[in-house]
């Protein structure tokens, strides 16, 4: 019975020490490589050619979903249904958000367009 108790105490103690070490490593990693998220909201679900798309961008911390204090540049790209880049712009983020507009031409074809937004830091990761 004594060897069982000794072994149980040893396993329990080492798991606590290893767990604390892993938690410290995770906190150091999170401090070194913060997770950023960019959310884009727009005013309507459907648009006609020639409409202006009014957008609001939100730049948040990935773990807490709270705004960051920094003011980075947000790169916004607008892609046609065929994957061709139609419009590209840079927007300054202030107080965790930014407003911008995407103009559409009367000659634009109908279909599903895509908006891609990212910061310079996000370009470093997949």
What does the pLDDT look like over 89-119, one tens digit per residue?
Answer: 999 999 889 999 999 989 888 899 999 999 8
Give the C-alpha distances (Å, rounded to integers) separating 76 from 43, 48, 62, 72, 88: 17, 20, 19, 13, 6
* Burial of 97 from C-beta contacts in 10 A (0-12 / 13-18 / 19+): middle
- Determine the distance from the C-alpha atom of residue 54 to the mean position of all C-alpha atoms in its chain, rounded to a whole number: 20
Write out pLDDT tens, residues 8-60.
555 455 555 455 677 788 888 877 877 888 999 999 989 999 999 999 999 88
Sign of the Cα pseudo-torsion (105, 109, 112, 115, in order)? negative
Single pTM value for the model:
0.71
Write out pLDDT tens, residues 53-80.
999 999 888 888 888 777 889 999 999 9
Tokens 């150091």 — which residue?
Answer: 28
Ramachandran angles phi, psi of 6, nearest 5°: -65, -45
C-alpha–C-alpha distance, residues 110 and 16, integer Å: 59
Angle at 7 between CA 3 and CA 10, to 5 degrees: 140
């Amino acid at each position: 019975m004594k060897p069982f108790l000794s072994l149980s105490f040893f396993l329990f103690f080492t798991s606590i020490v290893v767990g604390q070490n892993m938690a410290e490593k995770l906190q150091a990693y999170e401090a070194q490589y913060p997770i950023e998220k960019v959310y884009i909201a727009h005013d309507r679900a459907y648009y006609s050619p020639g409409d202006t798309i009014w957008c609001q961008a939100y730049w948040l911390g990935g773990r807490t979903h709270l705004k960051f204090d920094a003011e980075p540049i947000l790169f916004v790209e607008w892609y046609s249904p065929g994957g061709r880049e139609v419009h590209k712009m840079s927007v300054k983020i202030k107080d965790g958000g930014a407003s911008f507009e995407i103009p559409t031409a009367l000659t634009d074809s109908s279909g599903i367009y895509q908006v891609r937004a990212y910061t310079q830091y996000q370009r470093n990761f997949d």
